[in-house]
Amino acid sequence: MQKNTPITIGGITVQPGERKTIDLVVGKLYTHSELTMPVQVLCGRQAGPVLFVCAAVHGDELNGVEIIRRLLKVKSLNRLKGTLIAVPIVNLHGFIHHSRYLPDRRDLNRSFPGSEKGSVASRMAYLFLNEVVAQSTHGIDIHTGAINRTNLPQIRAMLDDPETLNLAQAFGAPLILNSELRPGSLRAATVKKNIPVLLYEAGEALRFDEVSIRAGVRGIINVMRELNMITKSRTSQSSGASVVARSSFWMRAPHSGIFRSLVPDGKRVIANQTLMGIVSDPFGESEIELYAPNNGIVIGQMRMPLVNEGEALYHIAKFARSDIAADVVDEFTEEISDEAPYYSDDFPVI
């Protein structure tokens, strides 16, 4: 057995076998109070990978906070090999104010790699990248849809990298979407450091979604098992095969009006046959029916009934066999809803 090495974050060293919570200081607000980034480090006794798991890079995306809270209660972590760095709230200011953004209205996920002397967003990005990401061998970044937008549980990643593809498949989300890197994003900065990273998207902003949360906890555990950070037990819950989408597209509102959606996330749609929704005026005198232009699966949609012309209404993933993809999604939802919890007080949210 090879002993793990200590890890130092924010000037605090965590020895093998220790678990510590560290407040990384981003800077001070004009109130003179400190703006921090809370980090919990679990340093296993045995050597292994260093995995960071983070959430709330956008401060209003809450599912990941609950996923990490549940993850940290999993008993298997007592026999951890390697190191887990858990950052449930990267953007604390946005989290407190229920906001996607930082005080200067900057998007943290477009501010990487950041700067030690830049804006608040730039400094926060720089701190996270150098204190957390730079010390990691792998990463999982948890997100949700934006305000009034849902996302079916899905992994987004650069699938041309074999190791990343392997981890994406191990995660066990129903859908894996090949996704190009966006300049300024955490994922782009992490990949530039040659660190495989998964982006888990599920649910919507400012809301908990039990299926998305359970899938997230299970997925992270699956990845940790794949990395041999925790041992797979006889009662380990298996994850079904994911379906891979190499492309997706958005359906947009043909004109402004009141939007009524007729299909849930995960629904299979047939080109020019599936009635997806209706956009009408308040009197119902002018109504436009929305039909899918291509076959696919609905992986996200608008929840706000009031829409403007050109606004994105549905996100649809394209597959060679959308019928098979729909079956996988249905089986996944049923399985994740019925599975046993990972720890005794894992009460479902309604």
pLDDT tens string, the chain, 350 residues long: the values are 799 999 999 999 999 999 999 999 998 888 888 999 999 999 999 999 999 999 999 999 999 999 999 999 999 999 999 999 999 999 999 999 999 999 888 999 999 999 999 999 999 999 999 999 999 999 999 999 999 999 999 999 999 999 999 999 999 999 999 999 999 999 999 999 999 999 999 999 999 999 999 999 999 999 999 999 999 865 555 556 789 997 899 999 999 999 999 999 999 999 999 999 999 999 999 999 999 999 999 999 999 999 999 999 999 999 888 888 999 999 998 898 877 766 556 678 87
Indicate the class that CATH gives domain 7-243.
Answer: alpha beta
Q: Where are the beta strands (DSSP E) in the chain?
A: 7-9, 12-14, 19-28, 34-43, 46-54, 81-87, 138-143, 149-151, 154-157, 175-178, 197-201, 243-245, 247-252, 257-261, 268-269, 275-280, 287-291, 296-302, 306-307, 312-318
pTM of structure: 0.95
In whole angstroms, give the CA distance from residue 276 to residue 298: 10
Q: Residue 30's pLDDT is what? A: 84
Q: Residue 233's pLDDT is what? A: 67
In whole angstroms, give the CA distance from residue 323 to residue 315: 17
Q: Residue 347's pLDDT is what? A: 74
Phi, psi for residue 274 in degrees, rounded to 5 = -80, 120
Q: Residue 338's pLDDT is what? A: 79
Residues carrying CATH 2.40.50.100, the chain = 247-336
SS3 204: coil
In whole angstroms, give the CA distance from residue 307 to residue 114: 35
Domain 247-336 of CATH type 2.40.50.140: no
Residues carrying CATH 3.40.630.10, the chain = 7-243
